[in-house]
Amino acid sequence: MRAWVEAEAEKCVYCGFCEPLCPTLYPGGHRGYGPRGRVNIAFNIVRGGKHTGETLKSIYSCLLCGACNLVCPAKIDIVGVIRASRALGG
């Protein structure tokens, strides 16, 4: 699962197309509460990084609505990455 998350997250080109659709980004107050931020948090975790209280809040405040998946030009399974990061201890 770690290799899959890493491969998915590596596809992110930081375009930000996913962000306007995310219902949790603006309430969260910064990009860490949007899909792009969550993909990069997951990438950091599978590369050996440690969660902080803030990253845990980000990962667990995702509604798993899937709006981000629909627009990602890199075809990242963002919801799958977020689910996996929870399963990996996120």
Choose which of 28, 62, 83, 90 interacts with ligand SF4 (CB under 6 A): 62
d(CA 78, CA 67): 9
Instruction: For the CB of residue 90, give the shortest distance to ligand SF4 in the complex, in Å.
Output: 13
Contact call for residue 81 and ligand SF4 (CB under 6 A): no
Count Cβ atoms within 10 A of the Cβ of residue 62 and give its class: 0-12 exposed, 13-18 middle, 19 or more buried.
buried
Q: Could you tell me if 20 and 72 are in contact, meaning their C-beta atoms sit under 8 angstroms apart?
A: no
Q: Could you tell me if 76 and 8 are in contact, meaning their C-beta atoms sit under 8 angstroms apart?
A: yes
Instruction: For the CB of residue 11, give the shortest distance to ligand SF4 in the complex, in Å.
Output: 7
Contact call for residue 45 and ligand SF4 (CB under 6 A): no
Contact call for residue 38 and ligand SF4 (CB under 6 A): yes
Q: Could you tell me if 42 and 66 are in contact, meaning their C-beta atoms sit under 8 angstroms apart?
A: no
Chain residues in the site for ligand SF4 (CB under 6 A):
12-18, 21-24, 35-36, 38-39, 62-68, 72, 74, 76, 78-79
